[in-house]
A and B are shown apart, each in its own frame.
Chain A
Amino acid sequence: MSEKEKVVGIDLGTTNSCIALVRAGRPEVLLNAEGERITPSAVAFTDNEILVGQLAKRQAILNPTRTVLSVKRRMGTDWRFRVDMGGEEKEFTPEQISAFILQKLKRDAEELLGTKIQKAVITCPAYFNNLQRQATKDAGIIAGFEVLRIINEPTAAALAYGLDKEGEQKILVYDLGGGTFDVSILDLGEGVFEVIATDGDTQLGGDDFDRRIMDWLIEEFKKETGIDLRGDPQALQRLRDAAEQAKKELSTRLETHISLPYLAVNAGGPKHLERTLSRAQLLSLIDDLLVRTMRIVDQALAAAKLKPQDIDQVVLVGGSTRIPRVQELVAEKFGRAKINKDINPDEVVAVGAAIQAAILAGEMKEVVLLDVTPLTLSIETLGGIATPIIERNTTIPVERTKTFTTAEDFQTSVEIHIVQGERKMAADNKSLGRFVLSGLPPAPRGIPQIDVTFKIDADGILQVTAKDRATGKSASVTIKDTSRLSSEEIERMRKEAERYAEEDRRRLELAETRNQADNLIYAVEKSVAELGEKVEAEKRRKIEEAIRNLREKMGGENPGAIRAAMEELKRTAGEIAAELYRRAGEGVSG
């Protein structure tokens, strides 16, 4: 069988570019030769070579007249780049410069995949006119691609989220990148995206936020030390890095510490910068910029003659949309449920382009669409613990088996209680059903081996079987509604699990500790009984006392106290217990 042709999607951006392809039905971003997922859209000419990407960017200020940044802003114009290369004057069109970027992406991807890449879908801004689109296409052709299609960046972002499959709707794409901000409103009807409004600010983005943080740090340092760092390039470089780092950290944390020791020196000795920046402070530094983006959103809505409630879906694109306040502002206007933000916002356009490429190449038709389990499926075990059998997000059809045993001596039946959800205790999850496997031959606890198998078919129907290995006896139940939960319900259950995570962890710890204590008591009592008269009366009395104490602690809520009482019992029972406890294994199931 011949190797399938590779078709890629390319986000040819103003500051950065990204290339992706669909493999086995899944879009993947391809790493460049430097091992990065994103390539700076920079091209530079030296006397003997052409540099593209990170290398071109690094030497830009040294070689400004021979370095091109943001060539995208020139697409479709008759701007020409004249450059002296080794004494020879050369002239390049914006298409040719863009082609160098595309060529690097192509070359690096081919190297990575070990095959040739011929075909590509390339994206451009929704506001590009025909000349600009033709120029983008020509750039692709010069780079050696057969350009399957030029698609709009917001359309690609919507495709990445599969919004094209959801019927007629209006989609707003909010794209806040490093240096530019774009809003597009799309009308999706019969599988065709139409751009009904675009607006933006070509000079607004994440770099502005970094600058605001840097300025704040400079002012704070000046207030404290009287030193103005603006004239100190070395300090500025450290500040710039620290500002960007702080901004990124505040997307996931409420507070970050900026520590720059030996930042400057004056007559009084070395000076260090130590500052805590909270998310609220960052917000006060950049809020006007964020509010400005929302005004632009309003303008776009007005141009489309739409109200926020007319928008069915919102897609967030660009690294700066990771800022929680951005997501809040968008949610305040459109409602949280409409926001799509789970795909890496730096890559979502390339991912969408790759999907479009795969569709055009006819690859998506062959893709088998697979469902996943929305929530974890577990059974209840000793102490009310929910023991997972199939974790959430497992692709179906799937079959998983775990082996359990009895919790009591001479137990002749076990009840299998099936629950669904992310909470640690069975009672906090949704009960899906229960059944009993009876007729087990009487045996001490821990001896019977019962295989519990969860089998979910492609339609999401769950069959649970419990089978006793010794007798081959089995019982089972079929549950049809494992995926009948609405997406809101699933979301609520997940949120709850997050909210109660700490409490659940404590309860799980308590339940598990109690189980261990119960096992220990069982083992000790058993060994004492077996040894009979061999155990001295005094020793026996001490052991019984320790067991009573442990039982009392098990009735409490403190796992630490239970563990301490267990230690005491182990010490008292000494070698007898240690040996037998090792043999006893773990008792489960109830």
Chain B
Amino acid sequence: MSEPFSLSTQEKPEGKNLREELLRLAAEFDNYRKQVAKERERWREQGVDDTILQFLPAYEALERAFFLRQDPAQLREGLSSVVNLFREVLTRLGCTPIPTVGEAFDPLYHEAVLAEPAPAPKNRILEELERGWLRQGRVLRPAKVKVSLGPQGGEPA
């Protein structure tokens, strides 16, 4: 523990003392900043740990499905239960999929990977190439989509 910062008014060569105190305070602040950065990293790691723990049951269920002898119908039933488990964890973590097909394209949520003329109105999403996810309202990953350019073809892609 370092001494608390204090300024003595009795000491004479004030310039020198002030400079020393300034140095000490600046160094203390700098060390504090490093400590905060280290702590932030620790919290981040802890966040990752917590998330992994939530997903482990689903992974372990999948492994059991893999090693257990079952007929296709049983396997299907088991897998569907595992998918539900994953969905449950995602919901618990506040993750929801971004609606795509049939919606109007919105760059806030969607990334256009392909565009083509189609009977659907211009800017309507035709196909989802990769699902997008929201977490607590924030875009975790935008949905990658194919978008209609309208019946006339609109602009050339």
Chain A residues with a Cβ under 8 A of chain B: 24, 26, 35, 44, 51, 55-65, 233-234, 237-238, 241, 368, 370, 393-401, 458
Contacts and interface: CB of A to CB of B under 8 A. Distances in A.
Contact of A398 (B2, B115, B142): B2
Given A55-B108, A234-B129, A397-B24, A61 B114 contact: yes
Contacts of A238: 130
B50 interface: no
Given A57-B111, A59-B105, 9 more contacts: A24-B29, A61-B114, A63-B155, A241-B130, A370-B30, A393-B34, A395-B30, A400-B1, A458-B20
A63 B123 CA distance: 10
B155 A64 contact: yes
B147 interface: yes
B70 interface: no
Question: Which 6 residue pairs across A and B have the least CB separation, nearest first?
Answer: A395-B30, A58-B111, A62-B112, A59-B107, A399-B2, A55-B107
Contacts of B108: 55
B27 A370 contact: yes
A84 to B, nearest CB: 10
A65 B3 CA distance: 65
B23 interface: yes
Contacts of A401: 1
B151 to A, nearest CB: 16
Contacts of A58: 107, 110-112, 142
Contacts of B130: 234, 237-238, 241
Interface centre among B1, B22, B23, B147, by most chain A C-beta atoms within 10 angstroms, is: B23
B43 to A, nearest CB: 17
Given A393-B34, A397-B27, A233 B113 contact: yes
A65 B30 CA distance: 50
Contact of A233 (B31, B129, B142): B129
Interface string B1-35: 11100000000000000001011101111110110
B144 interface: yes
Question: Is chain A's binding surface mostly helix, strand, loop or mixed?
Answer: mixed
Interface residues of B, number: 37
Given A61-B114, A63-B155, A395-B34, A233 B27 contact: no
A264 to B, nearest CB: 14
B157 interface: yes
B2 A400 contact: yes
15 contacts: A51-B107, A59-B111, A62-B112, A64-B156, A233-B113, A233-B114, A234-B127, A237-B130, A237-B144, A238-B130, A395-B27, A395-B31, A397-B24, A398-B28, A399-B2
Interface string B103-139: 0010110111111000000010001011000000010
Contacts of B111: 57-59
Contacts of A61: 112-115, 157
Interface in B23-72: 23-24, 26-31, 33-34
A397 B28 CA distance: 8
A233 B146 contact: yes
B112 A59 contact: yes
Contacts of A398: 2, 27-28, 31
A64 B157 CA distance: 7
Contacts of B138: 35
Contacts of A56: 107
B23 A368 contact: yes
A234 to B, nearest CB: 5
Given A233-B129, A368-B22, A398-B31, A65 B112 contact: no
Contact of A237 (B24, B29, B113): B113
B113 A399 contact: no
A24 B1 CA distance: 23
A67 to B, nearest CB: 10
B129 A237 contact: yes
Contact of A62 (B23, B26, B123, B144): B123
A196 to B, nearest CB: 37
A214 to B, nearest CB: 14
A255 to B, nearest CB: 21
A26 B26 CA distance: 12
Nearest to B122: A62
A30 B59 CA distance: 38
A56 B157 CA distance: 16
Contacts of A458: 20, 23, 27
Nearest to A60: B112
Contacts of B27: 370, 395-398, 458
Nearest to B154: A62
A394 to B, nearest CB: 6
A544 to B, nearest CB: 44
Contacts of A397: 20, 23-24, 27
A59 B2 CA distance: 55
A398 B33 CA distance: 14
A516 to B, nearest CB: 26
Contacts of A65: 155
Contacts of B113: 61, 233, 237
A400 B156 CA distance: 68
Contacts of B2: 398-400
A370 B147 CA distance: 56
A402 to B, nearest CB: 10
A375 B73 CA distance: 63
Interface centre among B3, B31, B129, by most chain A C-beta atoms within 10 angstroms, is: B31
Contacts of B33: 26
A55 B146 CA distance: 16
A234 B128 CA distance: 8
Contacts of B129: 233-234, 237
Interface centre among B144, B149, B156, by most chain A C-beta atoms within 10 angstroms, is: B144
A371 to B, nearest CB: 9
A65 to B, nearest CB: 5
A384 to B, nearest CB: 27
Contacts of A368: 22-23, 26
A370 B155 contact: no
A14 B155 CA distance: 25
Contacts of B105: 59, 62
A347 to B, nearest CB: 16
Contacts of A234: 127, 129-130
A56 B26 CA distance: 43
